Every structure is written in structure tokens, then in C-alpha cells.
Amino acid sequence: MSTVDLLVEVVGWSGAVLILLAYLLLSMGKLTGQSVLYQWMNVVGAAGFTVNGWWHGALPSASLNVIWMLIGGVALWRIAQRKGSSTSAM
């Protein structure tokens, strides 16, 4: 296994751990779906899955995770917008 292959595997498994941990924390009530941490865990985890899926030619998985990242990105943008509007009203 080359260094690049190993790096891609580490990135993919790290993404899997992040997404699973985010879901575990959500299910345990430690995070909410509107948590910035929860959304970032999903975005970074999906990025890891995207890299790994693309490298292995798993295009359906890579495509799904690009969409997963976009959903998380939109959620983060909306959270930021709400925080910005709530502080500007003060």
C-alpha cells in the first residue's frame, strides 16, 4: 500500500468516525441538529468519505457525500445568519 493509498484510507475512516460520532451525540441529546459542532462534524466527515469514495471509484457514494456536505454547509450558513440577525437586533 502506497503512502497516498494509506492517507486516503485514513481520511475515509476518519470521516466515518466523525459522522458516526456526530450521530451518536445527536441521538444521546448531547448535540442538536442546529449545533455548529454537529454540522461541522458532518461536513468534514462527508469530505473524508468523498475523497475515499472518489479514490476507489465509488461515484454514487462520493456524490452522496458531496450532497451531504452541501446540506451541512447550508445548515451552517443558516445558523450563522440567525446568530447574526439575533445580535444585530440588540
Higher per-residue confidence, 89 vs 57: 57
Q: What is the pLDDT of residues 26-59, one digit of tens each?
A: 999 999 999 999 999 999 999 999 999 999 999 9
**What pLDDT sits at residue 87?**
61
Neighbours of 48 (CB within 10 A): 21
Burial class (CB in 10 A: 0-12, 13-18, 19+), 22: buried
pLDDT tens per residue across span 64-77: 999 999 999 999 99
77-88: average pLDDT? 84
